[in-house]
Amino acid sequence: MWRGVVAAYLSVRGRSGSVDVWDSIVIGAGQGGLAASYFLNQRGVDHLVLDSNPRPGGAWQHRWDSLTMHEVHGVADLPGDPAPGRSSERANVAVPNYFADYEQRHELRVVRPVEVTEVTSAGALLVVHAGERAWRTRTLVNATGTWTSPNWPRYPGAEVFRGEQFHTATYPGPEYLRGKRIIVVGAGASAVQFIGELAPIADVAWVTRRPPVWRTEEFGPQTGLQIVTEVEKRVVAGLPPSSVVGATGLMLRAHEQEAAELGAYDDPLPIFERLVPEGAQWADGTVEAADTILWATGFRSAVDHLEPLGLRGPLGGIPLERVPGNVQAATTAVHDRRVHLIGYGPSASTIGASRAARRAALEVAQQVTDRAS
């Protein structure tokens, strides 16, 4: 009932031309956005969450069906409620259910589906636009993740290739690809997972731009801290962020052993030069025939809607303010301190997003209080 009342109230209150001004608007209702909303509520900050998805679950609702809670790296807790643990349940069911319960239990004010098209500055206020609708706010927490911004490299010949092409974001699952000749492109965890389930049932060739980096030991907190620290340095310096999750190194798990025994991970091919109608071609003229190219080539931060604010520095990234002693707490945009980014750079993991959300809420609460006094 509460949700229906809220949706009706908020859509009226948020219309363009409304005289109301929010203390904060959160964009995105994934791990980062929900955690931010929780902490903003704790601090009494009047805010709304806008999310482009029709349902709760952030990017997790779009993960492929064969990804179970055994295969994910691990989903960190949202503040105050334990996340689902390892199980054979589909990640695209378990995590969205967790998020949906969380939104209800903590009475988070999420309006969906609302796709923010741009954020502009109007004097002391920011204006969040979604088509004809607009919300005015004193501060902004951006938590839009990466899923809606797939990194899909375009090689010459992409348009003449006669087969099908998919990205991780559109992976159709193993049954669809059974018996096909598939080229998997990419040296990250998604490529390893896809090969694990495809090699036993299809003819798979693995192609990588750089040699894959294998890890022989379980991933510990010390390694995690090192990786996050490196990403934080890049972001503070104003460089485009590298991926935290992608930098953890690759390790085969039990369900990938069959593919390993088939030699599917041995000696990946270097990246091809172009696509041709029947497959991929290398500079020496060699052609690998394929029915399908699967681009497991990662994602970029989904921040195009922030372009009007001019947050980027000359090196192409959005520089964030460093917080000494806490590498995941860099959230405040250097070029506009009203804007806070979480799930960006060092906080682009479920644990990082939750931690960054706490910091962003603290900053927002201080900024709102400072303006009021």
Residues forming the site for ligand FAD (CB under 6 A) = 27-33, 50-53, 58-59, 72-76, 114-116, 143-148, 168, 190, 245, 299, 302, 305, 343, 348-351, 353
Which one, 51 or 336, has the nearer CB to ligand FAD?
51
DSSP strand pairing (47-50 vs 22-27): parallel
> What's the closest the beta carbon of residue 189 comes to ligand FAD, in angstroms?
7
Nearer to ligand FAD, 56 or 268 (CB): 56
Write a three-state SS string for 212-272. CCECCCCCCHHHHHHHHHHHHHHHHCCCCCCCCHHHHCECCCHHHHHHHHCCCCCCCEECC
Nearer to ligand FAD, 116 or 275 (CB): 116
Q: How far apart are CA 369 and CA 40, in angstroms?
A: 13
Smallest separation, CB 335 to ligand FAD (Å)? 20
| Residue 160 Cβ vs ligand FAD, minimum distance, rounded to whole Å | 29
In whole angstroms, how close is the CB of 289 to ligand FAD at the nearest point?
28
The residue (of 61 and 367) whose beta carbon lies closer to ligand FAD is 61
CA 96 to chain centre: 15
Query: Minimum distance between the CB of residue 154 and ligand FAD, rounded to whole angstroms?
Result: 20
In the bound state with ligand FAD, the residue whose beta carbon lies nearer, of 193 and 281, is 193
Let me know how many helices (H) and strands (E) the chain has, helices first: 8, 15
> Residue 355 Cβ, how far from ligand FAD at the closest point, in Å?
11
CB-wise, 305 or 355, nearer to ligand FAD? Answer: 305
Query: Which candidate, 186, 145, 80, places its Cα nearest to that of 349?
Result: 145
Decide: 90 and 67 in contact? Cβ < 8 Å. yes
The per-residue DSSP string of 145-177 comes to -STTSB-----TTTTT--SEEEEGGG---HHHH
CB of 166 to ligand FAD, least distance (A): 13
Residue 341's H or E segment, with its range, is strand 339-341
Which H/E stretch holds residue 186? none
Q: Residues with Cβ < 8 Å from 173, sequence gap 6 or more? A: 64, 65, 66
In the bound state with ligand FAD, the residue whose beta carbon lies nearer, of 35 and 202, is 35
Residue closer to ligand FAD (CB basis): 183 or 192: 192
- Shortest CB 119 distance to ligand FAD, Å: 9
Spatial separation of the C-alpha atoms in residues 201 and 114, rounded to whole Å: 40
For residue 158, report the phi and psi dihedrals to the nearest 5 degrees. Answer: -55, -35
- State whether the Cα torsion 53-59-64-67 is positive or negative: negative
Name the pairing type of β-strands 133-142 and 164-167: unpaired
**Closest CB to ligand FAD among residues 191, 275:** 191
Tallying the residues shown for the chain, one arrives at 373
Q: Closest separation between CB of residue 366 and ligand FAD, Å?
A: 23
